[in-house]
Amino acid sequence: MSIRPVTLAEYEDFVAFLNAGMRPEITATRAEDDFPVILSRDNLEGLWCLQDDTGWVAGLSVLTREFTTTLGPVKVAGIGSVVTRPDMRGKGLSKQLQTRVMGELAGQRVPLAVLWTDQPAVYAGRGFKEAGWEYHIDLTGARLAGLVPPGAEVRPFLPSDVTVVSMIYDSHPLRTLRQSGDNSKLYTMPGTSGLVLTKGRDVLAYAFCGKGDDFPDYVTEWGGEAEPALAVMAAAHEQGLASRILVPAGREDILKVASRRGAGHELISSGLWSVIRPDLLPVPQAGAPKGRPDDPTTWIGRIGDDGKIQPGCFQLGVWGFDSV
């Protein structure tokens, strides 16, 4: 068996293999629709396969981007689309593939990896652990009338809005440093509905709902000051597009505004994290971190058993569009 990145000539067949494993039933969108950056031809070096003489056996995708943190930028590898052919499952092949990819990432000086799964026990054995945190706001039953400022209106997002919406996204203190073209792919992906709050020619805030079949009933990304942003999300709720809001670390200001309107919220982990190169992670001026350097909670914190945040050395935030 060989483990390697796929070639351009293999791209279409490989993505079809991933889609079949991730979408065994017919859905409105394909995997490459819901993950247009990580499964793009532009990310060939991040599309990895395990192959034998019968064809594709296992595959996964990985996308590396810098994230802003409270101690400066940190490279993070997002791992997704982990698929094993049905007749080859239970043989540890995806673990073998993932181990190889993690080794490659270590050589590329990537210190952290993150993934999302409904089978955390499987990945716990591969060094991944719940860490970080985010809030999920529930708009059900909240008092949302009258939030749109006088003279402003909420309208559908247009492709021509990409530049200004990207500028608003860049105002988030904790975010992925997306590369050129990322936002255009994310903001126009099939199965996603976008709204913007405008006043005259100015775009004040925005919200994107859903992520194809991957993130239903959620505002997965939003931007702008807290009150205008909530006005857009209230319109999304009224239109039946979403009833919950993802709030990454760094934008907790929206919690106070939403709670005044009667919205509830819960605190959950921001994903499963693994430390690949602890020597490359930022250390605060106070000195070496207290805790195991190979434990992601040492660095980015966790939610304690009491339901309260236990901070780490630094904070980062993962927006829904970047949860590959």
CATH of the domain at 181: 3.40.630.30
Residues in Cβ contact with 243 at an 8 Å cutoff, skipping those fewer than 6 apart: 138, 139, 140, 217, 237
Q: In whole angstroms, give the CA distance from residue 211 to residue 220.
A: 7
Residue 194 lies in a domain: yes
Residues in Cβ contact with 71 at an 8 Å cutoff, skipping those fewer than 6 apart: 282, 283, 284, 313, 314
Each residue's pLDDT expressed in tens, for the chain with a length of 324 residues: 899 999 999 999 999 999 999 988 878 888 999 999 999 999 999 999 999 999 999 999 999 999 999 999 999 999 999 999 999 999 999 999 999 999 999 999 999 999 998 888 888 888 999 999 999 999 999 999 999 999 999 999 999 999 999 999 999 999 999 999 999 999 999 989 999 999 999 999 999 999 877 889 999 999 999 999 999 999 999 999 999 999 999 999 999 999 999 999 999 999 999 999 999 999 998 777 888 999 999 999 999 999 999 999 999 999 999 998
Residue 12 lies in a domain: yes
Contact 81, 39 (CB under 8 A): yes
Q: In whole angstroms, give the CA distance from residue 14 to residue 124.
A: 27
Instruction: Determine how many CB atoms are found less than 10 A away from the CB of residue 156.
Output: 10
Residue 288 pLDDT: 72
Mark which of 106, 130, 154 sits at the end of a domain.
130
Are 140 and 93 in the same domain?
no
Contact 179, 192 (CB under 8 A): no
Are 125 and 143 in the same domain?
no
Residue 126 pLDDT: 87
Residue 291 pLDDT: 87
Residue 153 lies in a domain: yes
Q: Which of 282, 247, 312, 300 is nearest to 73 (CA)?
A: 282
Q: Which structural domain range is residue 61 located in?
A: 2-130
Residue 313 lies in a domain: no
Collapsing DSSP to helix, strand or coil, 122 comes out as helix
Are 12 and 50 in the same domain?
yes
Question: Distance from CA of residue 249 to its chain's centroid?
Answer: 12
Residue 281 lies in a domain: no
Residue 194 pLDDT: 97
Mark which of 130, 151, 180 sits at the end of a domain.
130
Residue 34 CB-density burial (10 A; 0-12 exposed, 13-18 middle, 19+ buried): buried
Mark which of 130, 165, 188 sits at the end of a domain.
130
Are 258 and 173 in the same domain?
yes
